[in-house]
Amino acid sequence: MNNNINLFSPYQLGDLELPNRIVMAPLTRQRASEGNVPHSLNATYYEQRASAGLIIAEATQISPEGQGYPNTPGIHSPEQVAGWKLVTDAVHQQGGRIFLQLWHVGRISHPDLLPNGVLPIAPSAITPQGQAFTNEGFKPFVTPRALETSEIPGIVEQYRQAAVNALAAGFDGVEIHGANGYLIDQFLRDGTNQRTDEYGGSIENRVRFLQEIVEAVTSVWDSKRVGVRLSPSGTFNDMRDSHPFETFGYTAQVLNQFDLAYLHITEYTDADIRYGGTPIPTNYIRERYTGTLIVCGGYTAETGNAVLANQQADLVAFGILFIANPDLPRRLALNAPLNQPNPKTFYGGGEQGYTDYPFWSPASEPAVNL
C-alpha cells in the first residue's frame, strides 16, 4: 500500500503530465448535430470538464456502418473532424487533455440506422437478444451479416483512417473501444464469434482482429498515445464467453507488446452477475498487464483513493458523476456536495442535463491545487 498516492496525485502518462488521476469516462450522450457532427454545445460540455486529469471523449463511430444509436458523433467526414476540433480547442484552452474513443458497434445496430438500410455486420450471424434504439424508437435486433474474411482488412483500415482523422481534429490520443459488446468484443468472445477462419476458434485467432487494429492505430499515433478499453466480465449487449479468464488474461498479455498509454477496464456490475457473467477481479488483469491500468465501475472518492493506494490501478475513471458534476475533481478534493444526475436527460436533447449542471460555488472556499 502507498498512502501517498491518491486521486489528486499527478501521473505521467507517456509524455503527458496529468495533474490528477481522475479520468472522465467515455459517455454516450447522443447530442451530435445533423450528419453526426459535433458542435458548439458539445465543446461547452467538454470544456466544462477540462479539470479531469484526462477526458476520454464519447464513443465515436469510425464509419457510417459503425453507427448503433441516433445522434452519436462520427470521425469519418471532414465536417465531423472540424466539429471535433471545436471540442479539442475548447478543452486545450482550459489546460485539459482529451482522447477520442474509436467505435464500431458491429451487430448492435439496425438497418434503419445504416446507409441504404444494410444489415449490421458481425464476426458471426448471431442475433443479439434485445432491441435497437432507432430514430423511430426501439425495434428488435436483426440477424447481422457475418463478415467475409476478405472484408476484415477494410474494417481495420477504417480504424486507421479514424486515427488519422482524430489526429487532425487535435486530440491528444485515442482509445480503441473493445468493450461492452461492440464489434471488437464480438470478435474476442466465443459466444459471438463462431468463425472457422484465422479470426475464430482459438483465443489466439479471436484476439487477432484487435491486434491488427492496434497495429493500424499505432502506425498513426505513438503507442503511448493509444489506449484500449475492455469489459472482461460484461454481459451488456448479450455477451458471453465460455472461458473468460483465459480469453481476457491472454488479451491483456498480448497488449503488453504494444507499449500502450493504458488498458482501461470496465469492472463487473450487479447486472453482469445477474445475467450470468463471470466476475473477473481487476487484480487478475493487473497481474498480466504490465502498463498503466485505468479502472471504471461506480467509484467514489473513498474507493478510488483505496484502489490507487493499494496499487490495484493507476487511474480511476468516473462516468455518471461527471455527467452531473462538471467540476468533479474540485468537489472530490473539497468533499463538497455532489449534484444528483437526472437519468431522463442522459441521452439526446439539448442543454438540459448536459451543460446546465452548476459548478460548486460556496460563499468561501479554501484554495485547492489540483
Catalytic residues: 182
Return all residues near 274 (Cβ < 8 A) that are at least 6 apart.
none
Q: How far apart are CA 330 and CA 322, in angstroms?
A: 12
Q: How far apart are CA 91 and CA 93, in angstroms?
A: 5
Residue type, 173: G
Sign of torsion over alpha carbons 224, 225, 226, 232: positive
Three-state DSSP state, 236: coil
Cβ contact 313:294 at 8 Å: yes
Three-state DSSP state, 90: helix
How far out from the chain centre does Cα 94 lie? Answer: 22
Three-state DSSP state, 317: strand
Cβ contact 350:330 at 8 Å: no
Three-state DSSP state, 33: strand
Q: Which residue carries 451543460 as its cell?
A: 355
